[in-house]
Amino acid sequence: MKNSLKGVLAQEAMTIKQVMRIIDQSGFRLAYVVGKDGRLAGAVSDSELRKAILKGRDIRDPVRGIVNATPVVLTQKDFGDRAASARAARKLLALMPDSRFILLLDSQGRPKKLVACADLLERQKLTIENHGSGKNILVVGGAGYLGSILSRKLLARGFKVRVLDSVSFGRGPISELDAHAGFQLLEGDMRNISTLTQALLDVDAVINLAAIVGDPACKTRPEIAIETNYLANKVLAEACRFHQINRFVYASTCSVYGAMDGQKKLDEDSPLNPVSLYARSKIQSEEGILSLVDENFSPTILRMGTLYGWSPRMRFDLVVNTMTKNAVVDKKIIVHGGGKQWRPLLHVDDAAEAYIQCLEAPISKIKGRVFNVGSSAQNYQIIDIARIVQSRVPGSELVMQGDGPDARNYIVSFERIRRTLGFKTRQTLAASVDRIREALTSGQIADPSDGRYYNVEIDQ
């Protein structure tokens, strides 16, 4: 957020929706409201606006009836007194811990400029650079393979995290987070409207990871897949728009590209060619969510590469993880159809970083946009993945078999997210294989055939 006074000012006659847009675009979490004479009438925060909506206020109503007439600000007199200035900054930080600036009024009570709180704290070494501090994030599916890592990272960055999850695979992956003051687990199904409404209370942004994940799982349960992957996602996005929770990040997949023709890298504007119900349900969800974009509602779609790597909620039904497990346990790495199929790989830790970058980016950069998430350097053919796994697991051998059930084959470009957000992957395939091998050989995973490690069956 820049120290820009103009970007945080609103007029009394503006609507709730217009003021919410000012707050979203400034990243300030509140707007200062002025009257016709230019004097400060008060301030209103994003959470206060959402509470007003919950109490029945229409987003087209003027904001004047919701304004806090006595916000914490600096007068000219206080500004000249170092102790008084520091007290005002501390008071504001107690109310809003992520505040970086406080409003200074001129002698007539008109907004003059924003002053950095750090400059008023008498050179105290107080860290207020954590952009996520105080932000309340709902992670739907936050106990899963990706969610259990993302939840930890968000807490470490200073975000407050509420997880909505059915905990189908148990609470174990996130049980240690219960002791964190900024963490809350809400056990339930996103398809339940009452549960969903409860989950959205006092939330600033939503990350939706919940889905019936993978081609085999969707094929086994097609009705639930459509209900969860499309219908429930659309309802969640509509609920966020109604409540003016305008930052919404949705987990999609590069599987939407299906089977490519030729060797051209596919970008976000390339034709989609789904070859499974899973991919088709994700396309429907993308279209439904993006259709809701308006002046304020700013969803973002992240099409992730094929995930891999260690997670507190480990999965052995993903190609890298499956091959590593088979190499360690069976000493065999099975490759179907010659292994010439292309896959864009994405380490689960890098994937979590992409979601955080979306939360921290200016909303104008991500509004209504689709990003492929991964690295061009990690576009691999299946046979090359198998060879890397074999090189990291001594004594394992490649076993070539006939065509498998998976027809996906695509090379993906990740230039858009690199240029727009500066996103770069950091994890390597070899190191990830080593980590999984160690977990299997050390006994950290006693029984890798346990059903908790599989969504349904091997997804290769």
pLDDT in tens, 86-133: 888 888 888 887 788 999 999 999 999 999 888 887 533 333 333 344
* pLDDT at site 226: 66
* pLDDT at site 89: 87
CATH pick for 6-120 out of 3.40.50.2020, 3.10.580.10, 1.10.1040.10, 3.90.1150.220: 3.10.580.10
Q: Which CATH class is domain 136-453?
A: alpha beta
* pLDDT at site 129: 36
What's the pLDDT band for 81 if we cut at 50, 70, 90?
confident
What's the pLDDT band for 238 if we cut at 50, 70, 90?
very high
Q: Which residue has the higher pLDDT, 99 or 300?
A: 300
268 pLDDT higher than 80: yes
* pLDDT at site 210: 84
* pLDDT at site 84: 86
Average pLDDT over residues 388-412: 90
Q: Which residue has the higher pLDDT, 128 or 69?
A: 69
Lowest-confidence pick of 62-66, 134-138, 222-226, 317-321: 222-226
Q: What percent of the chain has pLDDT over 70?
A: 91
* pLDDT at site 223: 61
* pLDDT at site 221: 62
459 pLDDT higher than 50: no
Q: Determine the distance from the C-alpha atom of residue 227 to the mean position of all C-alpha atoms in its chain, rounded to a whole number.
A: 22
236 pLDDT higher than 50: yes
Average pLDDT over residues 54-61: 93
* pLDDT at site 458: 37
* pLDDT at site 29: 86
Topology alike, domains 6-120 and 136-453? no
180 pLDDT higher than 90: yes
9 pLDDT higher than 70: yes
CB 224 within 8 A of CB 281: no
Bridge partners, residue 15, by sequence = 62
Q: Where are the domains of the chain?
A: 6-120, 136-453
Lowest-confidence pick of 260-274, 359-373, 382-396, 411-425: 260-274
